[in-house]
């Protein structure tokens, strides 16, 4: 074993201690740039390696542990046994709102990228370190065993390649925000935001990741004000509830559980909206997530404190409201400004052997919905239809949302047919109708085009107006049925399947 090490790191955490440990073991230390300057100021003896980017091929040969070389300043470089290098944190730069694409080339670390590749390609002979967390274990192995096992060298090289791949993918992701994310090759780097308590079930491990270098737009930018720990289900509910709440311009409360809306209400005040959302599905609201598109005030917080809600997310909180919510044991409270939507955002889904990628469903309508019946919806019906349509967009297919006045009163989702979805929604509505006195016309939104049988069941249940995508073979028959019942129907011209 040649006791030689080359150090060139941007992240200088622990590098002095590492160099001192190697010096005690009799290693010759070579360093470049700011790393050499740091070691010199610390009184650690090292040879300075100087070269101009790109790294000369002869120097790369030495870094890969193959042949000696000579640096620009005349220093003879041996073949190295240890190479420690890491890269400029490009993700923290491109993720800043004020960062301009014209600045990108100024921050790309071509030198250390080449250094790491050269060392990691010859992992059988070179110990390649890309993270300060590996300094301690490597020093211990050198002291106790005199060297490293081949398996550990291979693992360290793998981490170096992952470090390089994440760096390259971050740059590619940043540039692709202005291009096609569904190309023949898609590279992706994920940065861990938080370890989660568990996944969908307690025996499953889980973590929350954000796209490396992406500007914060969603839950990766949320501030956790109190509560925890979080599991995967919490984040699914937070995402569904908050995205649906942001579909509204007026004050609204959305309650979601198991990644689907349980209730939504857009009444005159925030407190009334919360009460309405809770009444929409009292059983479904238990243990759910409440989302608001306004700052939460004290009256609303007081109601939340008396209910079993597991998490709350809003654009902000008044001082008194936050004090009330923090006093409720176990309640998770998050703050998140309305995210800036990107037209290039995608949805990812893992399947056996690969990943499915699609553009995010950011549209509510493609165009203004068309009234296809003789009777047009009244103004009251039109407002309630819009509420129902926004809600059904976030429910699992097949889905139906019944709404009355400012509130949903039944959401049926994940059914195998639209007919079952309607029957289930009507059953849920009748089961709790006594606590929800009629406050306006009863309307329905469906996420899929309706067969005639399904529409017949809905109108028989007292529905006076319907919004659906249209585009099914029964469309004309459905129009005739509505006309015969004096019901209004809109074709949205767009569907919102969600699986």
CATH no. for residue 293?
3.40.140.20
CA angle 410, 254, 349 (to 5 degrees): 90
Residue 82, domain extent:
4-176
Q: At which of 310, 335, 360 does a domain end?
A: 335
Q: At which of 335, 352, 379 does a domain end?
A: 335
Question: Does residue 389 have a cis bond before it (omega within 30 degrees)?
Answer: no
For residue 225, tell me if it sits in a domain: yes
289 and 394: one domain? no
CA angle 53, 59, 64 (to 5 degrees): 120
Structure tokens at 280: 């929409």
pLDDT of residue 177: 63
Mean pLDDT confidence for 360-376: 93
307 and 375: one domain? no
- Give me the half-sphere count of Cα atoms (radius 13 Å) on the Cβ side of residue 164: 21
294 and 398: one domain? no
Q: Is the pLDDT of residue 383 over 70?
A: yes
Q: CA 59, 65, 69, 71 torsion: positive or negative? A: positive
Q: Is the pLDDT of residue 199 over 80?
A: yes
For residue 347, tell me if it sits in a domain: no
| Alpha-carbon gap, residue 397 to 329, rounded angstroms | 35
In DSSP terms, 201 is beta-bridged to none
Q: Is the pLDDT of residue 393 over 90?
A: yes
Mean pLDDT confidence for 317-328: 96
For residue 251, tell me if it sits in a domain: yes
- pLDDT bucket at 79, cuts 50 / 70 / 90: confident
| Alpha-carbon gap, residue 57 to 59, rounded angstroms | 5
The CATH number of residue 92's host domain is 3.40.50.1380
129 and 256: one domain? no
151 and 280: one domain? no
For residue 356, tell me if it sits in a domain: no
- Outline where DSSP puts E strands in 32-156: 47-48, 69-70, 76-77, 82-86, 127-129
User: Both ends of the chain: CA-CA distance in Å?
Assistant: 57
pLDDT of residue 339: 73
32 and 170: one domain? yes
155 and 30: one domain? yes
Q: Is the pLDDT of residue 149 over 80?
A: yes
Least trusted range by pLDDT, from 51-60, 329-338, 383-392, 401-410: 51-60
Q: Which SS3 state, helix, strand or coil, does residue 29 take?
A: strand
Q: How far is CA 308 from CA 84, 115, 410, 470, in A?
A: 52, 55, 20, 39
Q: Please give the model's pTM, rounded to 2 decimal places.
A: 0.81
441 and 386: one domain? yes
For residue 269, tell me if it sits in a domain: yes
> Considering its fold, how many domains does the chain have in total?
3
278 and 160: one domain? no
Instruction: Classify burial at 316, counting beta carbons within 10 Å of its beta carbon; exposed 0-12, middle 13-18, buried 19 or more.
Output: middle
DSSP code at position 133: G
Instruction: Classify burial at 251, counting beta carbons within 10 Å of its beta carbon; exposed 0-12, middle 13-18, buried 19 or more.
Output: buried
Residue corresponding to tokens 């740039």: 33
To the nearest whole percent, how much of the chain has pLDDT over 90?
67
255-258 LR contacts (CB < 8 Å, sep 24+): 255/280, 255/281, 255/284, 255/285, 255/288, 255/289, 255/290, 255/291, 255/309, 256/288, 256/289, 256/291, 256/394, 257/284, 257/285, 257/286, 257/287, 257/288, 257/289, 258/233
Q: Which SS3 state, helix, strand or coil, does residue 126 take?
A: coil
| Alpha-carbon gap, residue 399 to 455, rounded angstroms | 14
Average pLDDT along the chain = 90
Q: Are 292 and 300 in contact (CB under 8 A)?
A: yes
Between 9 and 97, name the one with better pLDDT.
9
Over residues 101-145, the pLDDT tens digits come to 777 777 787 888 888 988 898 888 899 999 999 999 999 999 998
| Alpha-carbon gap, residue 302 to 199, rounded angstroms | 31
Structure tokens at 159: 């981490």
Structure tokens at 30: 């070579």
pLDDT of residue 347: 86
To the nearest whole percent, how much of the chain has pLDDT over 70?
93
Mean pLDDT confidence for 365-385: 95
- pLDDT bucket at 497, cuts 50 / 70 / 90: very high
Cα Rg of the chain (Å, integer):
30
- pLDDT bucket at 403, cuts 50 / 70 / 90: very high
Q: Is the pLDDT of residue 433 over 70?
A: no
Instruction: Classify burial at 434, counting beta carbons within 10 Å of its beta carbon; exposed 0-12, middle 13-18, buried 19 or more.
Output: exposed
300 and 429: one domain? no
| Alpha-carbon gap, residue 394 to 200, rounded angstroms | 19
Mean pLDDT confidence for 390-409: 96
Q: Tell me which range, 75-84, 357-366, 467-476, is most confidently predicted by mean pLDDT.
A: 467-476
Over residues 242-267, the pLDDT tens digits come to 999 999 999 999 999 999 999 999 99
Q: Is the pLDDT of residue 95 over 90?
A: no
Least trusted range by pLDDT, from 18-27, 90-99, 415-424: 90-99
- pLDDT bucket at 435, cuts 50 / 70 / 90: low
| Alpha-carbon gap, residue 280 to 387, rounded angstroms | 13
pLDDT of residue 180: 60
pLDDT of residue 343: 60
67 and 163: one domain? yes
Mean pLDDT confidence for 83-105: 77
pLDDT of residue 486: 97
For residue 354, tell me if it sits in a domain: no
114 and 17: one domain? yes
pLDDT of residue 105: 73
pLDDT of residue 172: 79
Q: Which SS3 state, helix, strand or coil, does residue 390 take?
A: helix
For residue 351, tell me if it sits in a domain: no
For residue 342, tell me if it sits in a domain: no
């Amino acid at each position: 074993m040649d006791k030689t090490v080359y150090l060139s790191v941007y992240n200088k955490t622990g590098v002095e201690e590492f160099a001192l440990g190697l010096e005690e073991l009799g290693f010759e230390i070579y360093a470049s740039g700011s790393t050499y300057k740091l070691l010199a100021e610390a009184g650690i003896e090292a040879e300075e390696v100087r070269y101009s980017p790109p790294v000369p091929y002869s120097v790369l040969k030495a870094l890969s542990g193959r042949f000696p070389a000579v640096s620009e300043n005349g220093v003879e470089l041996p073949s190295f046994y240890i190479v420690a290098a890491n890269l400029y944190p490009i993700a923290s730069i491109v993720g800043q709102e004020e960062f301009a694409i014209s600045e990108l080339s100024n921050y790309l670390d071509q030198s250390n990228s080449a250094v790491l590749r050269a060392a990691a390609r010859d992992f059988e002979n070179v110990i390649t370190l890309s993270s300060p967390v590996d300094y301690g274990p490597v020093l211990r192995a050198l002291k106790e065993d005199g060297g490293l096992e081949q398996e550990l060298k291979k693992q360290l090289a793998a981490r170096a390649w992952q470090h390089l791949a994440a760096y390259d993918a971050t740059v590619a992701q940043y540039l692709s925000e202005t291009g096609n994310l569904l190309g023949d090759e898609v590279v992706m780097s994920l940065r861990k935001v938080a370890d989660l308590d568990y996944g969908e079930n307690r025996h499953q491990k889980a973590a929350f990741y954000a796209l490396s270098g992406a500007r914060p737009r969603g839950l990766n930018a949320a501030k956790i004000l109190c509560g925890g720990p979080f599991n995967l289900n919490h984040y699914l509910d937070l995402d569904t509830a908050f995205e649906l709440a942001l579909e509204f311009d007026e004050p609204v409360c959305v309650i979601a559980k198991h990644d689907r809306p349980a209730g939504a209400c857009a009444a005159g005040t925030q407190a009334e909206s919360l009460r309405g959302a809770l009444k929409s599905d009292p059983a479904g609201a238990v243990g759910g997530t409440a989302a608001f598109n306004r700052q939460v005030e004290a009256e609303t917080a007081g109601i939340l404190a008396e209910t079993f809600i597991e998490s709350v997310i809003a654009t902000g909180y008044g001082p008194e409201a936050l004090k009330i919510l923090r006093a409720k044991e176990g309640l998770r409270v998050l703050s998140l400004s309305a995210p800036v939507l990107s037209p290039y955002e995608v949805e990812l889904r893992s399947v056996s052997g690969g990943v499915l990628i699609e553009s995010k469903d950011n549209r509510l309508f493609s165009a203004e919905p068309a009234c296809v019946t003789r009777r047009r919806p009244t103004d009251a019906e039109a407002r309630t239809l819009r509420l129902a349509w926004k809600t059904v967009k976030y429910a699992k297919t097949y889905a139906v949302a019944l709404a009355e006045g400012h509130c949903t009163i039944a959401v049926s989702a994940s059914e195998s047919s639209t007919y079952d979805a309607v029957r289930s929604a009507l059953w849920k509505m009748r089961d709790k109708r006594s606590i929800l006195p009629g406050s306006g016309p009863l309307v329905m939104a469906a996420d899929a085009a309706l067969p005639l049988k399904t529409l017949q069941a809905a109108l028989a249940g007292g529905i006076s107006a319907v919004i659906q995508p249209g585009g099914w073979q029964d469309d004309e028959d459905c129009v005739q049925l509505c006309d015969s019942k004096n019901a209004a129907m809109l074709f949205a011209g767009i569907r919102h399947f969600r699986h």
